[in-house]
Structure 1
C-alpha cells in the first residue's frame, strides 16, 4: 500500500534511525500497534521499518514517543515489551511465505523492527481493483500457501491473530507473503505469565474470542480469520463482525451471516463448506487447524442424492419386504386391475323410508298426504264457522269476515308435495313435523 505522508504522527522522510543505518523514505500506513515506513538500509536495500506507536495510549513530542498521560504509562511499557518480544520471536522463524525480520532496536522512546520489503498488492487492493485476477486456480494456490504458513506458525505455538486482506501480499507470480505480526501471540508468553497484552480486533475478520480478554484463543482463531478472508474473495465483502452476530443471537434474532453453502455463487462446494465451518461462532464447531481445512479442500465433492437413485429404491423395497409380511411386492392393486365398481352395473339406491313425528313408518305417502289435506280442510271450516258466529259483534260498516282457506296441494313430485306440507304448516301449533 502507498499512503501519502500526511500524518502528523509519522516521522518525516529523510529521518535517520539507528545512527544512520536506516533512512526513512516515506510512510506506508498506520495500524493499531504502530506506523510502517518504507526505508533504505546502509547498503541501499529497500526495507520496511515498523515503529511501535499504539496511538490510543501515546503521542509524539518531536521525534520522541511518550505516553498520553500518567495512566497510560504502564500500558505503553507493556505494549513496548510485547512489540520487542514478538520481533525476537519472528526473527527465529524461517518460512518462505512469512516476511523475514532483520533486527529490532529501541530509539526515540519506542521500538522499531526492520524487515524485508515485499513487492506486490495486498489482497484488499486486489479485491477492490482487480477481482478478475482471483481465478479459481489462483485462489486455490493462495489458500494453500497461507495454510502452509499458518501451519508452520501454529506448530511453533505462534498465532498470527491478524489474518486479514491487508496483511497478505500477492506478487505478480502469485506468491503470497504473510506480513504484519504486530498482533501475534505466543503460547510460551502466556505460560510464562505475560498476560498483560493490548489486544486488537478487526471487525469482520476477528473471531468472537478476540472481543473477550478471558476467552481461549488458538489455531481455530486464525482459521476464523481465514474464513473471513475467503468470504471477501468469494463475495467481495467481509462477513458481519462476530460481535454483531453474537449480539443479535443474544436478542433472539437470526444470525446475520448467510452461509455460502446456501448461495448460488459459482464456487467449489468444498470451499463453501470450509468457509462456513471456519466462520462458526463456537470454536468447537470450527475447522480447528490448517490440516482440517486442507482435508475439506481435498476431500470428496459432496453432492445431493438423486431423487430416483436406484440404490435408494432397492433399500426401500427391502424394508417393505421385511416390515410388511402381508403385502405383495409390486404395483398397487388399484393399478393391477380395474375396480369392481367400474365393472359392475350401478345399482339404484334403496327408496327412502318416511316416518311421522312419532317415528312410525309411512307405507303409503300419497294416502298419508291426502289424509293430512282432509284434516286440514276440516279444521279450516271449523274456524270459518266460529268467525261467522261472531258477526253480530261487529259494528255497522265493518268489513266482511275473513275466509281462512286451507293450503292447496301444488303440482310436482311426491317429494315436493311432502316438502310443501312441511313448509306450510310449520307455524301452526297443530302442525306435524316430518323426518326425512
Structure 2
C-alpha cells in the first residue's frame, strides 16, 4: 500500500526530533520537554505520548540499573545485547517483583544493553519459565514502518526450530513499550570471548559470565599452543553456525546480521544464532548509532555495505560468518577502517589480509576456507551455507577441502569484476598500443622496402640534386645581374629624364619583387638572404631619394602668387619663402649648367642632398596645415599624371583596368593638340566640347575612390597654375587642355 508523502515526511520529522531528544539526554543533561512541545506544535500529541511511555519504562528499569548488573562490553565498542545470563543458573529463581512487570513477564535483572535496546532476565508468568526479554528503543518504536517490519521478521524467526537457533517465544507491546522474548541461553557471545582473548598474556583472565575460568583458560591455552585441537574447535563452531544458517535459508529467511555479538556459546560448547531476522531493523534505525554501525558494518558483505539490496541473499550470511570466523582466528576484523567512508572503501575494493600473515600457526586449509567465504562477489563464495559447513567438516576430518586458493586467472577475474571501468581503460589502451605497434611495424616494413628500392637510385638522385642546386645558383647569378641592370638603368639612364620618377619607382619595385621570388628557391642560402637584405635597403634608399626629388618639384608652385595667397602666408613667411625660392631657382640653374660636365650619378647625389635640405627649410617655414595644403595643390598641379604615382594609385585602390583608362585620358590630354591642329578644330569646336580632363578621370573612379581623391586634393585652388619650369611670377597662358583643372 502506497503511503502518503506528507505522512511519510511527518514521520521523518518526528524521528529526527526524538533522536535529538535522546542524544541530548545521553550527554547527561535533561532536555526541556516543554520547549520541544512548543517548538513542534504539529507533533505535540505524538511527543506527549512518547514522553509518557519513556517515563514508564524508566520507572520499570530504574531498579535494575541501580543494581549495576550489566553485561560486559563487546570488542566493537557496543555493549552486550546477546540473550545470556551473568551467572550459571543452577536452580529456578523467584522473580524479583521490585523490578516490575511488563505484560506477562516479571523483570528479574538487566543482563545486557546495546543499540537494539535493553535485555533482561525475566520470568514468563503464564508458563513459569526463564526467558531473555529484549525491550526495543523508542526511536524504532515510533516509526510504524519499522514496527511492522520488526513484527513480520520476528514472527518468521519464531517459526524456526533448530538446535543452534535461539527461538523467539513471543512478541508484544505493553503501554507503548515493544519487546520480544527469547530462550534464555546460558553462556556469552563470541564477541566477549574475542575481547578476552585479546587481553595481554600477563593479565589474569576475567571470568566470562556463563563460562568458567577454567574453561576460558583452557580455551586460551589451546590457542597459544596452536595445536590442531584449537583450530578444530573454531572450525566446529563455524560449522554449527553454518548449519543453523542453512536451515534458516531453506525456510526463506536470511539473517543479514551475522556477527560475533549474535553468536552465543554456552558452557557445553554449543553455538546459538540469536537475533534472527532483525538485521533490517538494525540497519534502518541504527544508521547513526556510533559503534553499532561500524560494528555491524565490519561484518557486512560488499553488497550489503554498498546498498545493493537486489543482490543481497543467503550468500551475504556466508560472507558475514566468514568475517566472524576470521576475527575469531586472528583476533582482528577483516577490515579495520576507522570511519564509515574508509571502511566502505575497504569492503568494496580491498582484499582481507591472509590469515597466516597475521598468525602463521593458522592451518592453510582453514585459511583457504575462510578466504573463499570472504570473496567480494557472491558467485565466488560458497553457493550455500551447507557447502561452507561441509568444507569445515572436511577440514576437521583431515580430508581434502573443496576450496582452492584463487589462481592468477581467478584473481584477475575478481579484480575485473570490482574494477570494470579500470579494465575498460586498460583494454582501450592495450588495443591502441597493439594497433599502434602493428601500424608502426607495417610502416617500418614499408619504409624499409622503399629505402631498399631507393638505395639503387640514391647516387643518381644525389647527382640530380647537385645539378639542380648548381642550376639554381646559376639562375640566381643571372637574376642578380638582371636586377642590378634594372637598378643601373633606374639610377643612370632615367635619372636625368624629367617625368620618369613614376617609371623609376615601378622599375625598382618590380625588380625587388622579382628578386625576392627568385630567392624563395634558396631560402636556406644565407649568402643569398644577405644579398636580399642589402638590395632591399638599396631600393628603400633610392625610393626615399625619389620621394624627396618629387617633393622638390613643388617648389615652382611657391613662386606663384595664387599659391602664396591660398596658403595664407604672413609677411615673415613670405620673406623667408622668397629667399628659399630664389635659392632653389639658382640651384636649378646650376644643375642645368652641370649637364654634360658632371657624371649623372654625382649630379643625382647633389640633387638629392639639395632637395632634402630645401625640404627641411620649407618645413621650418610652413605650418603643418600649410604643408598639407601644399601637397594638395601639388596633386592638383600634376593633373592626370598624378595617378601614375604608385602611392596615389595604392591610396585610391585603383585596379589595372582603371589605371589603363586613366592613362588613355592622360594621353588624350597631352597629345590632343596634335589632332586639333590637323583638324583645325582644337579650340572652340562643338564636337570637341567634352568634359574636362579631371571630370573624365572622376568618371572612371568609383564613388568611394572619387571621395578619397577629393580629400587628397582638397579645395580647388582659385586661379590658374603655371606648369613646372614656367616663370613663377608670370601668369601662365591659359590652355584648357594643357592645364588640368582641379578636381571639383
Normalised by the length of structure 1, the TM-score is 0.55
Question: 1:256: Cα distance to partner?
Answer: 6.3
Distance 1:229 1:248 in 2: 17
Equivalent residue in structure 2 for 1:164, among 241, 245, 259: 259
Question: 1:174: Cα distance to partner?
Answer: 0.8
2:129 matched to which residue of 1?
Answer: 45
Question: Is residue 244 from structure 1 mapped to residue 338 from structure 2 by the alignment?
Answer: no
User: What is the 5 A alignment of 1:352-371?
Assistant: none
Structure 1: gaps of 5 or more residues? 1-5, 59-64, 68-75, 187-195, 305-436
SS at match of 1:158: coil
Contact 1:159 1:222 in 2 (8 A): yes
Contact 2:259 2:324 in 1 (8 A): yes
**Cα 1:179–1:29 shift into 2, 3 Å:** same
Question: 1:154: Cα distance to partner?
Answer: 0.7
Question: Is residue 123 from structure 1 mapped to residue 218 from structure 2 by the alignment?
Answer: no
Distance 1:158 1:185 in 2: 12
Distance 2:241 2:165 in 1: 9
Distance 1:106 1:218 in 2: 30
Question: 1:89: Cα distance to partner?
Answer: 0.9
Contact 1:33 1:182 in 2 (8 A): no
Distance 1:38 1:303 in 2: 45
Greater C-alpha Rg: 2
Distance 1:176 1:249 in 2: 27
SS at match of 2:332: coil
Question: 1:261: Cα distance to partner?
Answer: 5.4
Equivalent residue in structure 1 for 2:108, among 17, 21, 25: 25
2:305 matched to which residue of 1?
Answer: 211
2:423 matched to which residue of 1?
Answer: none
Give me the CA root mean square deviation: 3.3
Question: 1:270: Cα distance to partner?
Answer: 2.0
SS at match of 1:277: helix
Distance 2:404 2:280 in 1: 39
Question: Is residue 99 from structure 1 mapped to residue 184 from structure 2 by the alignment?
Answer: no
User: What is the 5 A alignment of 1:31-70?
Assistant: 31-42=114-125, 43-53=127-137, 57=139, 67=142
Contact 2:301 2:347 in 1 (8 A): no
SS at match of 1:159: coil
More helix by share: 2
**Cα 1:23–1:182 shift into 2, 3 Å:** farther
**Cα 1:262–1:38 shift into 2, 3 Å:** same
SS at match of 1:172: coil
User: What is the 5 A alignment of 1:294-373?
Assistant: 294-297=389-392, 298=394, 300=400
Structure 2: gaps of 5 or more residues? 1-27, 29-53, 65-98, 197-215, 224-229, 288-292, 406-744
Contact 1:24 1:38 in 2 (8 A): yes
Contact 1:159 1:185 in 2 (8 A): no
- Number of aligned residue pairs: 268
Q: Deviations over 1:7-58 (max 9, x none)?
A: 997641412111xx211122233344333222112154221112222x6x35
Distance 2:168 2:346 in 1: 42
Question: Is residue 177 from structure 1 mapped to residue 272 from structure 2 by the alignment?
Answer: yes
2:451 matched to which residue of 1?
Answer: none
SS at match of 2:278: coil
2:210 matched to which residue of 1?
Answer: none
User: What is the 5 A alignment of 1:189-268?
Assistant: 202-215=296-309, 216-240=311-335, 244=342, 246-247=344-345, 255=350, 257-260=352-355, 265-268=360-363
Q: Deviations over 1:186-208 (max 9, x none)?
A: 9xxxxxxxxx9658651321112
